[in-house]
């Protein structure tokens, strides 16, 4: 008999593990922390856990695969009890390191270019000479000093005062928590924003891009992109006073969406005494400096805010059900698992039908 | 319009007065449907005497209001009016495609006519639609799934009522389609590839599948070629003669109404402008709007 | 330009110093019993209770991230981890075999994080059986729990892609579109062509996906003495079939439900003719058949050997 039941599963797994750990010359967490700042930002966002050092460790362990690293972070997070929730934080209180607006030439508080690659020339620095030159040519940086730090007024506030953007009211309902309750549709906006904030960068950018290109009504302009550090507070369990826990590095985007000809966005039916002619807003937020994702998120949010909108970006159930990196990559890659039981079942069906077809054909031929 | 005693957006009491008709198959009282925020003056500021169905106070569209009528078993009622007069809204409310803002309706074949069919649970509404009513929409894609076979569309009705033998389902669907002059050879084809007239025939077959007591026809022949229209109308007359099913026919075409309906309601700006026997309305119209309609239609 | 800046004195600069890793990270030994924290386990148990109370109804739950990938049995694993405790004996199978790589991986995780839980290949010894795509061949007892991994819990997905709509259809038991789908299938293919994951009616109320088990196993759900729990991690749904519950495959009277046909074939190892068989392509292109339930097959082989030795 040539066949025995396979029992080699465990040995094979152990051997695979050994092959992985045998890799030498790999980065350690400290090196990742110093040299792959933007990758850490992406991994923290998609992993839904703000912990730069853990993210660096995960990236090192995952050999630079951001989804695998996000996976490690999330699995680790599952083991931690939920102690509490921070108080709502207003982005206006961010310690701003960079802020730009595309809607106005100048804005109250001024444009702060900060640290960005946007206007660098993308020349591969083969022998490291460009970096040295850039350092030599830079003017001295200006530091923001004094007690506390500057608070920059929000660009959107100015538009809001003029009634050009829908007024917002504080919503007293407790926000959803998508890590505790499964998403259901239609989703409250709090759940939508949480899901998008954890969305995979590549997916988010592609979907946002599709809305911009014409699949759905999005004519976005960045009212304000600000990045910096936002302090987080919790309520003290005994005194009930707000206590600062620390700060997270964030990028926040408020996107103006103007839909020409009143295709929904610019014409929200208002209350008494309000003109209905207005811009709509989209909001995006990402950990660290993942500006690309924050911008894409704000386009998607704006697209979904238009009730009559169509296109992939406006399709809430489609976007939110498919934006999570761990869900999509997990299910796509699960095809590597053996499926021979289900395949056997399918074989049975196909063979049965072929047989039925063949005998029917034979019957026809005989009749002729 | 009678003097109103409306407050807080309530309908005037007169809206609920209907002719007493103990034998009616269907009774509708004070049916109203609004689209928009609504205010307490919507009803008093709209209607034929105001020449509008849009509330000047709040901009709400009063699609229909104060609609009351009774329909005897086997009888056919026509609802005529220009587009936007609210006639299709009446059908949509009756069939449960949309929820009315006010009103009650009783169908004798549903729980002995004791329960208001506007006030039932979604599951009950489905039972009502599957067993007691059939509808034929102007646009076939509303009434049919164009991506499943013609037979499958009729079968849907049958399977909703627990038919579980493919052979029986096919026999019943085939005979219904046959009666509607859809050739048996096309039974397994997709209605997406059918002509407009043939699609309407499939819709009618589907609507009749479970032997309902009430058939709702919404602009049945609008959009069909004249030659095709005649065939479909003949078919409806045959069904009237053979089955004794009651019908409500919504049309902007007085010719269709004259041919099929015994009684007629004329709607204007969301209200009933005039109601009565069809020939009376066509020969001796009382309301100025009906007079205009009849004289311009030249029927 | 005038810089219009206020200052926010409330928050000290020290707030912006990053916390140290050493303060955050615990060693792997510090993982909670059965990996999940107790609050999470309680939440999953609550969902399980609801699922048992409403047979076939998909209970949404806040699926946690597991150390195995979503789509690789994370839902079944969460159910198993929230269910087991010291004294339990766990059997894990994938495609019917205890030795499948994914089964091994899941078993190792439980062994690592849940001390006091024994593992076994034997169906009879197990108190909890987690499985992907198969039921064991032998009937389960009232003191055993079957946990199935579910990739796509929504049986109505084939007729309706929107969760908001399928939820409504389930609520109203409006399953006409499923029947039309099956009718069209018969018209087009001459039979209901669904191979695995065949839709079933549970307790006369909910249509349920039995997970991608072959049709062969559907009958094992019907009026089973044991409890069956189904977990979908990526889709965040838990559902259940309590013991002694009717589970009926959807079919037509004249196109009845039919299991996989293995007539004329037998297991090349144990000779069984009444089991679900794996088809194996051998060198030269020939076919060989062997039991998919390898533990069952092993037991038959060793029983036969003992009989032979005794003779």
Please answer whether residues C200 and C247 qualify as being in contact, where contact means their C-beta atoms are separated by less than 8 angstroms. Answer: yes
- pLDDT tens by residue, C13-38: 555 555 555 554 444 456 789 999 88
Gap between the terminal Cα atoms of chain C: 104
- Please compute the mean of the pLDDT values over residues B88-99 and round it to a whole number: 95
**Predicted local distance difference test score (pLDDT) of residue A36:** 94
Q: Does C130 touch chain A (CB under 8 A)?
A: no
Residue A286 has which token pair?
Answer: 């990402």
Domain boundaries, chain C: 25-153+206-247, 261-311
C280 and B CB contact within 8 Å: no
Residue A147 at interface with chain C, using a CB cutoff of 8 Å = yes
Q: Which two tokens stand for residue A180?
A: 């505790």
Domain locations along chain A: 15-77, 106-225+252-321, 338-367
Q: Return the number of CB contacts < 8 Å for B and C.
A: 43
Q: What is the mean pLDDT of residues B283-295?
A: 91
Least Cα distance to B93 among B60, B123, B116 occurs for: B116
Residue of chain A whose alpha carbon sits nearest to that of C152: A331
Q: C160 to chain A, minimum CA–CA distance in Å?
A: 13
Q: How far apart (Å, rounded) are the C-alpha atoms in residues A149 and C112?
A: 49
What does the pLDDT look like over B142-162, one tens digit per residue? Answer: 999 999 999 999 999 999 988
> How far apart are alpha carbons A183 and A187 in whole angstroms?
7
The alpha carbon dihedral of B106, B241, B275, B226 has a sign of positive
Q: Residue A246 and residue C10: Cβ atoms within 8 Å?
A: no
Residue A359 touches chain C, beta carbons under 8 Å: no
Which tokens sit at C189?
Answer: 């293919």
A5 with C8: Cβ contact below 8 A? no
Average pLDDT of chain C is 90
Share of chain B above pLDDT 70, in %: 92
**Residue A275 in contact with partner chain C when CB distance is under 8 A:** no
Q: Is C177 in contact with B149 (Cβ distance < 8 A)?
A: no
Question: Residue C107 — pLDDT band, cuts 50, 70, 90?
Answer: very high
Rounded CA separation A310/A303 (Å): 8
Give chain C's radius of gyration (CA, Å): 24
| Cβ atoms of residues C106 and C186 within 8 Å | no
Task: Report the alpha-carbon distance of residue A256 to residue A305 in Å, rounded.
Answer: 12
Partner residue opposite A5 with nearest CB, options C64, C277, C298: C298
Residues near A238 by Cβ (< 8 Å), separated by ≥ 6?
Answer: none
Q: Which of C69, C136, C157, C276 to mutate to test the interface with A (most CBs of A within 10 A)?
A: C69
- Residue C55 contacts residue C202 (beta carbons within 8 Å): yes
Residue A336, Cα to own-chain centre: how many angstroms? 26
Kindly report the backbone phi and psi dihedral angles of residue B67, in degrees, each rounded to the nearest multiple of 5, phi listed first: -90, 120
- With CA atoms as reference, the chain C residue closest to A246 would be C15
Q: Does C190 touch chain B (CB under 8 A)?
A: no
- Please answer yes or no on whether A341 and C290 come within 8 Å at the CB atom: no
**Phi, psi for B59 (deg, rounded to 5):** 80, 0
Q: Please give, rounded to a whole number of angstroms, the shortest distance from the CA of A360 to a CA of chain C.
A: 12
- Summarize pLDDT for C154-194 with one digit per residue, the tens: 999 989 989 989 999 999 999 999 999 999 999 998 899 99
**Mutate which: B156, B184, B209, vs C, most C CBs within 10 A:** B156
Q: B8 burial class (0-12, 13-18, 19+ CB within 10 angstroms)? A: exposed
Q: Are B77 and B248 in contact (CB under 8 A)?
A: yes
When CB atoms are compared, the residue of B126, B155, B166 closest to C172 is B126
Architecture of domain C25-153+206-247: 3-Layer(aba) Sandwich (3.40)
Q: Per residue in C239-289, pLDDT tens?
A: 999 999 999 999 999 999 999 999 999 999 999 999 999 999 988 888 999
Nearest to C214 by CA among C277, C265, C272, C290: C277
| Chains in contact with C, where contact requires at least 3 CB pairs less than 8 Å apart | A, B
pLDDT of residue B3: 39
Q: What is the pLDDT along chain A (368 residues), one digit of tens a residue?
A: 333 444 567 888 888 888 888 766 678 889 999 899 999 999 999 999 999 999 999 999 999 999 999 999 999 988 887 888 999 998 888 999 999 999 888 888 888 888 888 888 888 888 888 778 877 887 776 655 555 667 788 899 888 888 888 777 778 888 999 988 999 999 999 999 999 999 999 999 999 999 998 888 778 999 999 999 999 999 998 999 999 989 999 999 999 988 654 433 333 333 333 445 678 899 999 999 999 999 999 999 999 988 778 899 999 999 999 999 999 999 999 999 999 999 999 999 999 888 888 888 888 777 76
Greatest CA separation found in chain A?
A: 100
By annotation, the residues of C acting in catalysis are 56, 267, 270, 291, 297
Query: Measured between alpha carbons, how far is C165 from C174 in angstroms, rounded to an integer?
Result: 11
pLDDT tens column, B71-83: 999 999 999 998 8
Which residue among C173, C180, C255 places its CB closest to the CB of B155? C180
Interface test with A, best of C10, C65, C162, C193 (most A CBs within 10 A): C65
Measured between CA atoms, the residue of chain C closest to residue B167 is C254
Mean pLDDT of B267-285: 94
Contact B166 C252 (CB under 8 A): yes
Q: Which residues of B262-299 are buried (b: 16+ CB within 10 A; e: fewer)?
A: bbbbbbbbbbbbbbbebeebbeebebebbeebbeeeee
- Residue ranges of the alpha helices (H) in chain A? 9-21, 29-35, 37-47, 52-61, 66-78, 129-137, 155-161, 189-197, 201-213, 291-304, 316-322, 325-333, 340-367
C190 conformational bin, left if phi > 0, alpha if psi -120 to 50, beta if neither: left
Cα separation, C18 vs C21, whole angstroms:
9
Cα–Cα distance for residue pair B261/B257, rounded to 1 Å = 5
ipTM above 0.85, yes or no: no
């Amino acid at each position: 008999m040539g066949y025995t039941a396979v029992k080699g599963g465990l040995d094979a797994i152990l051997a695979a593990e050994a092959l992985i750990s045998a890799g030498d010359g790999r980065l350690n967490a400290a090196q990742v922390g110093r040299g792959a700042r933007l990758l850490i930002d992406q991994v923290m966002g998609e992993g839904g856990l703000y912990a730069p050092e853990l993210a660096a460790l995960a990236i090192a362990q995952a050999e630079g695969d951001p989804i695998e690293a996000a996976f490690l972070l999330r699995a680790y997070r599952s083991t931690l009890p939920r102690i509490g929730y921070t108080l709502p934080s207003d982005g206006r209180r961010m310690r701003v390191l960079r802020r730009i607006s595309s809607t106005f030439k100048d804005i109250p508080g001024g444009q702060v270019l900060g640290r960005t690659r946007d206007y660098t020339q993308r020349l591969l620095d083969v022998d490291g000479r460009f970096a040295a030159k850039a350092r030599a040519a830079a003017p001295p940086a200006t530091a923001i000093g004094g007690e506390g730090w500057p608070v920059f007024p929000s660009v959107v506030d100015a538009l809001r005062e003029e009634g050009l953007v829908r007024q917002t009211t504080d919503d007293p309902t407790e926000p959803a928590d998508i890590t505790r309750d499964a998403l259901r549709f239609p989703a409250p906006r709090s759940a939508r924003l949480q899901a998008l904030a954890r969305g995979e960068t590549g997916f988010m950018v592609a979907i946002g891009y599709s809305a911009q290109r014409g699949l759905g009504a999005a004519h976005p302009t960045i009212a304000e992109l600000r990045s910096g550090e936002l302090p987080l507070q919790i309520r003290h369990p005994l005194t009930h006073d707000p206590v600062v826990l620390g700060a997270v590095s964030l990028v926040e985007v408020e996107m103006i969406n103007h839909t020409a000809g009143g295709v929904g966005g610019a014409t929200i039916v208002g209350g008494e005494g309000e003109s209905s002619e207005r811009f709509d807003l989209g909001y995006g937020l990402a950990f660290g400096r993942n500006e690309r994702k924050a911008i894409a998120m704000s386009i998607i949010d704006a697209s979904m805010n238009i009730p009559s909108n169509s296109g992939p970006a406006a399709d809430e159930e489609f976007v939110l059900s498919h934006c999570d990196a761990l869900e999509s990559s997990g299910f796509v890659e699960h095809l590597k698992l053996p499926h021979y039981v289900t395949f056997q079942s399918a074989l049975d069906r196909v063979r049965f039908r072929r047989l039925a077809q063949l005998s029917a054909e034979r019957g026809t031929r005989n009749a002729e | 319009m009678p003097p109103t005693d409306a407050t807080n957006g309530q309908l005037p009491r007169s809206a609920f007065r209907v002719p007493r008709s103990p034998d009616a198959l269907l009774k509708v009282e004070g049916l109203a449907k609004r689209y928009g925020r609504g205010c307490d003056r919507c009803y008093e500021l709209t209607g034929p005497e105001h020449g509008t169905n849009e509330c000047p106070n709040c901009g709400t569209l009063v699609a229909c209001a104060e609609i009351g009528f009774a329909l005897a078993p086997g009888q056919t009622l026509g609802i005529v009016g220009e587009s936007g007069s609210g006639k299709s809204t009446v059908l949509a409310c009756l069939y449960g495609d949309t929820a009315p803002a006010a009103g009650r309706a009783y169908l004798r074949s549903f729980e002995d006519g004791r329960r208001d069919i506007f006030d039932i649970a979604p599951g009950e509404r489905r039972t009502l639609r599957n067993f007691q009513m059939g509808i034929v929409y102007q646009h076939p894609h509303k009434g049919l799934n164009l991506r499943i076979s013609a037979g499958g569309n009729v079968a849907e009705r049958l399977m909703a009522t627990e038919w579980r033998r493919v052979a029986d389902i096919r026999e019943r669907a085939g005979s219904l389609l046959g009666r509607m002059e859809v050739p048996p050879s096309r039974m397994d084809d997709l209605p997406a590839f059918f002509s407009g007239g043939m699609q309407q025939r499939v819709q009618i077959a589907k609507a009749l599948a479970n032997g309902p007591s009430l058939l709702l026809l919404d602009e049945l022949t609008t959009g069909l070629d004249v030659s095709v229209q005649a065939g479909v109308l003949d078919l409806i007359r045959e069904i009237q003669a053979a089955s004794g099913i009651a019908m409500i026919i919504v049309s902007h075409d007085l010719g269709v109404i004259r041919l099929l309906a015994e009684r007629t309601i004329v709607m204007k700006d969301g209200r009933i402008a005039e109601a009565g026997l069809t020939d009376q309305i066509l020969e001796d119209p009382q309301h100025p709007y009906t007079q205009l309609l009849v004289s311009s239609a030249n029927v | 330009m005038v810089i219009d800046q206020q200052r926010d004195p409330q928050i000290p600069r020290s707030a912006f110093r990053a916390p140290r890793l050493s303060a955050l990270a615990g060693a792997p030994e510090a993982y909670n019993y059965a990996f999940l924290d107790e609050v999470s386990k309680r939440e999953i148990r609550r969902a399980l209770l609801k699922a048992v109370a409403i047979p076939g109804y998909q209970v949404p739950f806040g699926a946690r991230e597991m150390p195995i990938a979503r789509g690789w049995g994370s839902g079944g694993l969460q159910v198993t981890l929230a269910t087991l405790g010291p004294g339990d004996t766990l059997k894990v199978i994938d495609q019917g075999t205890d030795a499948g790589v994914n089964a091994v991986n899941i078993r190792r995780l439980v062994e690592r994080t849940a001390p006091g839980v024994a593992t076994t290949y034997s169906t009879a010894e197990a108190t909890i059986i987690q499985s992907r795509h198969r039921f064991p061949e032998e009937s389960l007892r009232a003191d055993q729990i079957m946990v199935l991994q579910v990739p796509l819990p929504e049986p109505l997905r084939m007729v309706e892609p929107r969760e908001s709509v399928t939820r409504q259809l389930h609520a109203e038991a409006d399953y006409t579109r499923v029947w039309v789908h099956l009718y069209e299938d018969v018209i087009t293919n001459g039979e209901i062509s669904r191979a695995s994951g065949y839709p079933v009616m549970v307790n006369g109320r909910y249509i349920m996906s039995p997970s991608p088990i072959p049709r062969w196993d559907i009958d094992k759900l019907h009026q089973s003495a044991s409890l069956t729990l189904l977990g979908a991690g990526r889709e965040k749904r838990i559902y259940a079939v309590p013991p002694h519950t009717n589970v009926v495959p959807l079919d037509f009277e004249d196109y009845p439900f039919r299991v996989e046909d293995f007539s004329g074939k037998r297991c090349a190892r144990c000779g069984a003719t009444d089991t679900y068989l794996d088809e194996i392509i051998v060198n030269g292109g020939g076919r060989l058949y062997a039991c998919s339930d390898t533990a069952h097959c092993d037991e038959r082989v060793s029983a036969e050997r003992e009989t032979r030795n005794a003779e």
